[in-house]
Structure 1
Amino acid sequence: MSLLPKSRLPMRIIALPLTTVVRDPKHQSDTPRPLVYYHFQTPPPPADRKVGWVDWATGKATQAWASFGKAPEMNWKYKVYRYGERLVDRIDFEELALKGVDPSLGPHISQLRRSTQDAKKEAEKGIVIPFVHPKSLSPSPLSHLRAILEKRTPRHKKGFWVWLLVSPLTAPFMLIPIIPNLPFFFCVWRSWSHYRAYKASEYLQSLLDNGAIVPKSSSDLDDIYVKHTPRFESDASESHDTKEESAEAKSMEVDEKILLRRDAVPPILKMFGLPETAAADIYRAIEQADVRLKQGIYT
């Protein structure tokens, strides 16, 4: 069961809350917000799209990395691949999601800067981007997305420059024979990843500013959360007076809980018609959210 046919969707955003509201003790002034995984679904590139040098280089790098994963287990390439995958698992899931957004495949901002009447006509053609979310992300899902983008845009801009400036420092590793300069390639890749996430953040902020992203709550998604949300433990024998005295403490405890279990991922993929490759991203986000709550890391 897919919520909306892919053929009607030039772009779609799916919000999956991972936790209940969390409070960052280091930033008491910040509004408590849940950790949310955003899946940005864009259409495939057109068949007649010209392949630029960036796409060519990215494709070659992807193929080379995949070949490392197919090497024999005792080979150094396979060991590098396994270690690299563990490093990817430690990268913020927000960055990994953003860097997968290709603004060239979404609606151009110039298409959205029109009169109200023209905008209505464009909406009928499917220009408006559905922002599907469960009701648990209410009352203002757009404000949550905007807050995340405002926080991550400068972070990725800084990360792009830091990793780019660090990459020349890896030049001495080029003197090592046989094995390629892996530190250099890693620095370049991290810089490229931050750059993609930075440009995607700016693009999504522009879509928000132009009112192109329209929230749409999903009762079907709510049903999945009801069926697959971990149950919070409570003491049924606790007296009413004790409950009142510890209300604030229990509120804090309940506020920092995981909302989504791994077994909810297959139904979500089926519901939205997502590819199997999307499962790995959601699993990674769930695991990171759990680690952040246990370690007190909320950003």
Structure 2
Amino acid sequence: MRLFLLPISTRRTLLYCEKLHEKPPNQRNLFDKVSIKANETWAAWEKDDKAIGNWKKKVTFYGNQALKRIPYEEWGLKTIPALNAKRKQDILDGKAKYEVMFPGLFLQKDKVPGILESWAMERQAMHRKRLIWSVVIMPFTAPFMLVPVIPNLPFFYVLYRAWSHWKALAGSKHLEFLIKNNASPTPNPSSELDEVYTAGLMYPTREISRAAPRPTREQAESVAQVVEQQTNGGTEDVMVLQRWNGKLIAERFSLPDMEVEIERAVEQVEKSIKAKEELIEEKLELEKATAAPGKEAKDHLPKEVMESAFASERIEKEIKEEVEEKAEEVSQKAKQEK
């Protein structure tokens, strides 16, 4: 089984598990059949223009907005299949082989075991608690069955959330079982991931990235060094993955489902970083408007703390400038070769 650790920023990483081969129809259990039917129904509703008041499209629109709010960590854990008796025994016997791929220039190899352990352990209690609450709430949604025409949407939503928390919990337990039985996935730094990450930082769009020459190893190392410098010794959280780059990574490894997971994770991390920056700015602006001159908290903070608080804009600008310089060098070199 192949896992991927994909840094979204210098502090946050997405875990993705490559899907096992899909079971043939005659080997699918009831759970598989229900999941497939639910996906097919949802896809059909998204295209249905004939429903009264266009309610099916509205339901899928607001439903998709709600799904975007589910943390990317939960989605990542859900990609790991639940353990069954056979796979447990294969792990104990050393027959089941696991590897974890990651961009070695953008994620240090010695950090991989710790990241896997945190993914396995940190969210178990939360998913277990929310699974229980979802099951408890489910009976209270029964009265909505009396609404004519429209299905009992509250019930199905709570049912979905219960399933989602169970799936994430099962994925984290699978990972925990590997770690506790000394069968942790073998770290495998990927030069292909280094290349795609570098292209995402060097070029502004997917189209330009496709048309441009593939980054060399020297260019990849240079870009990774620039990112490391912008973290100010690890104190700053710097984005290393672009939303549009998810498609290129998914294509490189022939994993179409990975694209959605990457785009969702990038969007959530971007919003989180931006919200933190805005909160700091709002607090300082409020204090500036209410405090007496020379009495503001920032006047008593060390210079390096203030620089760190507002470093993100500077970091983004510096990275953009250095990356543009690298892209210009590549462009000039390509013209000379022609």
TM-score for both structures, normalised by structure 1: 0.75
1:63 aligns with 2:31: no
Shift of 1:130: 1.2
Instruction: Indicate which of 81, 84, 89 corresponds to 1:102.
Output: 81
Secondary structure of 2:114 counterpart: helix
Cα gap change, 1:49 to 1:293, in 2 (>3 Å): farther
Cα gap change, 1:202 to 1:137, in 2 (>3 Å): same
Cα gap change, 1:153 to 1:250, in 2 (>3 Å): closer
Instruction: Indicate which of 263, 267, 278 corresponds to 1:283.
Output: 263
1:272 aligns with 2:271: no
Instruction: Indicate which of 51, 56, 62 corresponds to 1:77.
Output: 56
Instruction: State how far apart, in whole Å, the 1-side matches of 2:274 and 2:145 are.
Output: 40
Instruction: Indicate which of 17, 20, 24 corresponds to 1:43.
Output: 20
Tell me if the contact between 1:228 and 1:261 (Cα under 8 Å) persists in the aligned partners.
yes
Shift of 1:253: 9.2
- The CA deviation string for residues 243-281 of structure 1, in whole angstroms up to 9 with x for no partner, is xxxxxx973896222110123223312321212x32122
Q: Which residue of 2 aligns with 1:16?
A: 6
Counterparts in 2 of 1:229-240, with a 5 A limit?
A: 229=201
Instruction: Indicate which of 214, 236, 244 corresponds to 1:263.
Output: 244
Tell me if the contact between 2:231 and 2:238 (Cα under 8 Å) persists in the aligned partners.
no
Tell me if the contact between 2:246 and 2:258 (Cα under 8 Å) persists in the aligned partners.
no
Q: Which residue of 1 aligns with 2:66?
A: 87
1:295 aligns with 2:275: yes
Query: Whose relative contact order is higher, 1 or 2, with alpha carbons under 8 Å and at least 6 apart?
Result: 1
Which amino acid in structure 2 is aligned with residue 204 of structure 1? L
- The CA deviation string for residues 98-138 of structure 1, in whole angstroms up to 9 with x for no partner, is 22332369971211223xxxx3xx4xxxx321100112221
Instruction: State how far apart, in whole Å, the 2-side matches of 1:270 and 1:81 are.
Output: 27
Runs (4+) off by over 4 Å: 104-107
* The structure with more radius of gyration: 2
Q: Which residue of 2 aligns with 1:186?
A: 157
Shift of 1:58: 1.8
Shift of 1:67: 1.6
Tell me if the contact between 1:230 and 1:260 (Cα under 8 Å) persists in the aligned partners.
no
TM-score for both structures, normalised by structure 2: 0.67
Which amino acid in structure 2 is aligned with residue 287 of structure 1? E
Q: Which residue of 2 aligns with 1:150?
A: 121
Instruction: Indicate which of 49, 52, 55 corresponds to 2:29.
Output: 52
Instruction: Indicate which of 165, 175, 183 corresponds to 1:204.
Output: 175
**As a proportion of its length, which structure holds more helix?**
2
Cα gap change, 1:254 to 1:105, in 2 (>3 Å): same
Alignment gaps of 5+ in structure 1: 1-10, 21-33, 232-248
Tell me if the contact between 1:225 and 1:259 (Cα under 8 Å) persists in the aligned partners.
yes
RMSD: 2.7
Tell me if the contact between 1:42 and 1:105 (Cα under 8 Å) persists in the aligned partners.
no
Tell me if the contact between 1:68 and 1:77 (Cα under 8 Å) persists in the aligned partners.
yes
Instruction: State how far apart, in whole Å, the 1-side matches of 2:156 and 2:49 are.
Output: 22
Instruction: State how far apart, in whole Å, the 2-side matches of 1:16 and 1:250 are.
Output: 18
Secondary structure of 2:48 counterpart: coil
Which amino acid in structure 2 is aligned with residue 54 of structure 1? F
Instruction: State how far apart, in whole Å, the 2-side matches of 1:112 and 1:192 are.
Output: 25
Which amino acid in structure 2 is aligned with residue 132 of structure 1? M
Q: Which residue of 2 aligns with 1:220?
A: 192
Shift of 1:140: 2.0
Tell me if the contact between 1:18 and 1:258 (Cα under 8 Å) persists in the aligned partners.
yes
Shift of 1:80: 0.3
